[in-house]
Structure 1
Amino acid sequence: MTNTSLKTAMSGMINYIGLIGALLAMCALFSVLSENFLTMETFKTLSNDIPTLVVMAVGMTFVLIIGGIDLSVGSVLALAASVLSTAMVQWGWGLFPACVLGVLAATLCGAVTGTISVGWRIPSFIVSLGVLEIARGMAYQVTNSRTVYIGSAVDSISSPIAFGLSPAFLAALLTVIAGQLVLTKTVVGRHWIGIGTNEEAMRLAGINPRPSKIMVFALMGLLAGVGALFQVSRLEAADPNGGVGLELQVIAAVVIGGTSLMGGRGSVVSTFIGVLIISVLEAGLAQVGVSEPMKRIITGVVIVAAVVFDAYRRRNERAA
C-alpha cells in the first residue's frame, strides 16, 4: 500500500469513528433529556422516516463527488410522486407500472439537468434551479394542484415486516451497500472520483468525463424517483407541494457525512451516518420540545460547522 493510499484509508477510518462518535453522543444526550428517546417506538419512527432521505443522499453523494450539485431533487420527487399517484388513481394503472413511470419521469429530469449542464458547460447549480421550477410546475399540472390520495394500495412498501423494519428501509440499506461498492470497487466509481479531483487530468488520460457526469445526474433523478415511491407509500398520498426544502436536508446529510463540496472525496457509508445524525437530531429536538424555528437554527449551525470542518481538513491536506 502506498503512502497516499494509507493516508486515504486512515482519513476514512478517522471520519467513520468521528461520525459514529457524534451519533452516539447525540443519542446519549437525548436519552438523558427525554426518557422516551431510547425506545422501540422512536426506532420504528426513525426507520420509517429515513428511507427517502437515504436513497436521495446516496445519489447526491455521487453528484457532489464529481463536483456538481442538484437543487431540483425535492421538486423531482414531487413530480415522480404526482405521476405515480395519477397513473394509479386516474388512469387505473397497477402499482408496478405506475412506479416505473414515476421513476422514469424523475430519471428524465436528472438526465436533462446533466445533459444541459455538461453539454453547455453551465454550472449545475443554475441548471438544477431551472429544473426545480419546471418539475414543481409539472407536479401541479399533473395533480391539478391537489393532493392525490391512493390509500392502502401502496402502504405495503413502508409497513414494518420484522423488528419494526419496512421493505423501504431494507431497500434503502441495500442502496447504501451497492452505492459504496460501486464507488470503491468499480472502474466507474474511480472515474467519478477522478472527475471530481481533476477533470482535466481525466481528459488527458484519454477518458471522456461527459458521459459519466450525465450518468450521475440521471442516477440522482432515478433515486429521487425511488424516494418518491417510499414517501407515497408512507403517506398513502402524493402532494404536489411535497419535498419542499428536501434538497437542503439531502445536501446537509451528505456534507455532514464528510463528502466534499469541492468534489473528489466522499463515502456512501459516511453519508448514511450523516442521514442518521440529521434524523436523530431532528427527532431528539422534537422530543425535548424545541420549537421549529430553533430546530432550524440548530440544524443550520451543524451544517455550517460541517462545511467549515471540511474546508479546514482540505487546507491541512494541501499543507501536508
Structure 2
Amino acid sequence: MNAPASPASAAPRPTPAWRSQLGTYLGLLAVLAGMVALFSTLSEYFWSAETFITIANEIPALAVMAVGMTFVLIIAGIDLSVGSVMALSAATSAAAIVQWKWSVPAAALLALATGLICGTVTGAVSVAWRLPTFIVSLGMLEAVRGGAYVVTDSRTQYVGDAISWLAAPLLGGISVAFLIALLLVVAAQLVLTRTVFGRSVVGIGTNEEAMRLAGVDPRPVRIIVFAMTGLLAGLAGLMQSARLEAADPNAGTGMELQVIAAVVIGGTSLMGGRGSVVNTAFGVLIIAVLEAGLAQVGASEPSKRIITGVVIVAAVIVDTLRQRRAAAA
C-alpha cells in the first residue's frame, strides 16, 4: 500500500525564475512581432530598412531614461521629472556651447552633472522628509522646467553639429546614441541581477522593513537610484540635442509618461519588487513601433493617444494575469 504523500511533496512547486522570465521575453517578442506584421500589412512603406533605422535612431533618449525608471519603479518609487531634467540638461549644455563658449566635453559634463544633481535632490528630499516620491518629483518637474526656460531665455538654442557625433550613423545607419543605449541596457540588467546593489534594490521594493531588519539601510540605495535616473536623463538630453542639433526648453514635455509606459509594458510592477531592464527595452520598442506605425497609417493625434493608452492598460492586465497564473502554478 502506498504511503500518503507528505505535505511537502503535495505542495505545488514554484515556477523557476528563468522559465518565468523566458515566458515574459517570448510574450513581449510576440507582441512586437505582431505589431510589425500588422503595420506592414496596413502600410506598404513600414516594412523597410529605412523605417527600422529611423525607429532605432529615435529611441535612445527614451531608452536610457527608461533604464533609470526601471530601478525607480522596482523600489516602489516614481520620478515624474525625467522629461524636464532632460530638457534642462540639454539647455545647460547648449548654453555652455553657444553662450559661454565652453568646449564640447565640458558642456557634456555639465549636462550630466545637471541631471545627476536633479536626481540626487529628488531622492534626498524624499528620503530625508519621508515624502512620497510622486509629490517630490512633481515639484521637481515644475522647478526644473522653469530652470530650462531661464537658461535658454525661453528660446531654442541651436548647437549645430557641435555634438552631432552622438547622432552620427555607424553600422548600417545606426547611430552612436543607439549603441550607447544598447550597452546601458546590458550593463543595467547585469547590475540588477548580478550585484549586491541590484539585489538590494529588489529587496527594498519587495519588503523595505525586512531589508532594514537584515541590516541594509534603504536610504542611500534610494538616493543612488534617483541620482542614477537623473544622470541618465542628463545623457538623454545630450542625445536629444545631438539628434535635433538644438536644445528646446519645451523638449520632453509629457515624456515622463512615455518612459513610465515603456517600463510598465515591460512588466515592471508599479508596486515595486519586480522588474527587468531587458523587458523595459522591449517596452520601449513596442511604444516606438506603435507610434511609427500609427503615423504611417495616418492616424490622428487623438487616435494615437487613445490607442497607446489602450495598449498600456492591456499590457498591464495581461502581465497581471500571467503573474497570477505563475503564482498559482
TM-score bucket (shorter structure): over 0.9
Question: Would you say 1:138 and 2:157 are equivalent positions?
Answer: no
Cα distance in 2 for partners of 1:210, 1:292 equals 42
Taking the aligned partners of 1:16 and 1:101, their CA distance within structure 2 comes to 37
Uncovered stretches (5+) of structure 1, i.e. residues with no partner: none
Segments ≥4 residues shifted beyond 4 Å: 3-6, 313-320
The alpha carbon displacement at 1:239 in A equals 0.3
Is 1:188 aligned with 2:197?
A: yes
- Of stretches 308-317 and 252-261 in structure 1, the one that deviates more from structure 2 is 308-317
Deviations along 1:169-227, whole A, 9 cap, x unmatched?
00000000000000011110000000000000000101101100100000000000000
Which one of 189, 200, 220 corresponds to residue 209 of structure 2? 200
Scaled by the length of structure 2, the TM-score of the pair is 0.94
Q: Quote the Cα distance in structure 1 between the aligned partners of 2:318 and 2:33.
A: 19
1:94 lines up with 2:96 in the alignment: no
Alignment of 1:55 onto 2:64: yes
Q: Which residue of 1 aligns with 2:25?
A: 16
Deviation at 1:21, TM superposition (A): 0.4
| Cα distance in 2 between the residues matched to 1:23 and 1:205 | 41
Question: Gaps (5+ residues) in structure 2?
Answer: 1-11
Alpha-carbon distance in 1 for matches of 2:31, 2:304: 18
Structure 1 stretch displaced more, 307-316 or 150-159: 307-316
Alignment check: 8 A CA contact 2:265 2:283 kept: yes
**Which residue among 89, 102, 109 is the counterpart of 2:118?**
109
**RMSD between superposed Cα atoms in Å:** 1.4
**Is 1:218 aligned with 2:214?**
no
Q: Secondary structure at the match of 2:171?
A: coil
Q: CA deviation at 1:312?
A: 3.5
Q: Which has the larger radius of gyration?
A: 2
Q: What count of residue pairs does the alignment treat as equivalent?
A: 318
Deviation at 1:47, TM superposition (A): 1.2
C-alpha distance after superposition, 1:110-139 (max 9, x if no partner)? 001100111111110000000000000000
Report the counterpart of residue 291 of structure 1 in structure 2: 300
Distance 2:118 2:164 in 1: 26
Rounded to whole Å, the distance in 1 between the matches of 2:328 and 2:49 is 47
Correspondence for 2:156? 147
Residue pairs, 1:227-242, within 5 angstroms:
227-242=236-251
What CA deviation, in whole Å up to 9, does each residue of 1:30-70 have, x standing for no partner? Answer: 11111111111101211110000110000000000011000
Q: State whether residues 119 and 226 of structure 2, in contact with CA within 8 Å, keep that contact through their aligned partners in structure 1.
A: yes
After superposition, the Cα gap between the structure-2 partners of 1:76 and 1:5, relative to the gap in structure 1 and judged at 3 Å, is farther
Name the CA distance, whole Å, in 1 between partners of 2:35 and 2:169. Answer: 25
Identity %: 63
Superposed CA offset, 1:236-273 (max 9, x none): 00000000000000000000001110110001000001
Say whether the 8 Å CA contact 2:15–2:326 is kept in structure 1: no
**What is the match of residue 128 of structure 1?**
137
CA distance in structure 2 between the partners assigned to 1:63 and 1:162 by the alignment: 32
1:257 and 1:236 mapped to 2: Cα distance? 31
C-alpha change, 1:319 and 1:162, in structure 2 (3 Å) is closer
CA distance, structure 2, for counterparts of residue 110 and residue 51 of structure 1: 19
Distance in 2 (CA, whole Å) between partners of 1:180 and 1:172 is 12
Contact 1:260–1:310, Cα closer than 8 Å, also in 2: no
